[in-house]
Chains A and B, each alone.
Chain A
């Protein structure tokens, strides 16, 4: 069975600092994908970044990068130069299995302090 674990229920970070959100996963699939989504208080799910299991390079999207360590089964999100608007809930998710459905971790609530 697939599983996503986010061990940080909440984090407080000073504005302009970098922040790392932890995510570990478990799967028996060889082909899978890892996602990070941001959910602000409005409730919408905003896609941030994607890493495929066969991608050799770590994914980057602007201020977001994904630190993919396949042997350790971790896919941490790094946000550089955090901004007040980064305050939100962040979910790590994994695609795989039959039907390519995605499952989510419990999330990390990030608070950026001015």
Chain B
């Protein structure tokens, strides 16, 4: 299974600012997935990132708020823009080209 390095692991941000989360995979993968896990909740898919095309967003998530880049087959970023306290969550990336889907260690975001 692929190994994912995600950073930062945590951050505390001021409302109105933006944070970019990075995920680096140790092998080439077709799809990368970004999830949000609000406190005490399950994982909700934000978008699917395919290299060379625009990300596909799930209902309730928009590109202006969560822009995603996928410059190559091993890397992706998710930006949380114009943050509010409601964006305080854990954000995780995931890949699943080979075998079980694996996850990054998560970014714990607190917006104050």
SS class of chain B's interface: helix, strand, loop or mixed?
strand
Indicate if A56 sits at the interface (CB-CB under 8 A): no
**Band of interface residues on A:** 10 to 19
Tell me the bound Cα distance from A101 to B41 in angstroms.
19
Question: Which candidate, A12-20, A42-50, A64-72, A79-87, is the interface stretch facing chain B?
Answer: A42-50
Tell me the bound Cα distance from A69 to B90 in angstroms.
33
Partner of A104, one of B42, B90, B100, B108: B42
Partner of B56, one of A43, A45, A99, A106: A99
B103 lies within 8 A of A44 (CB): yes
B-side contacts of A106, CB under 8 Å: 41-42
B42 lies within 8 A of A100 (CB): no
Closest Cβ of chain A to B40, distance in Å, is: 9
Closest Cβ of chain A to B41, distance in Å, is: 8
Tell me the bound Cα distance from A66 to B106 in angstroms.
27
Indicate if B75 sits at the interface (CB-CB under 8 A): no
B-side contacts of A50, CB under 8 Å: 100
Indicate if A103 sits at the interface (CB-CB under 8 A): yes
Task: List the interface of chain A (C-beta within 8 A of B).
Answer: 35, 43-45, 47, 50, 91, 93, 95, 99-107
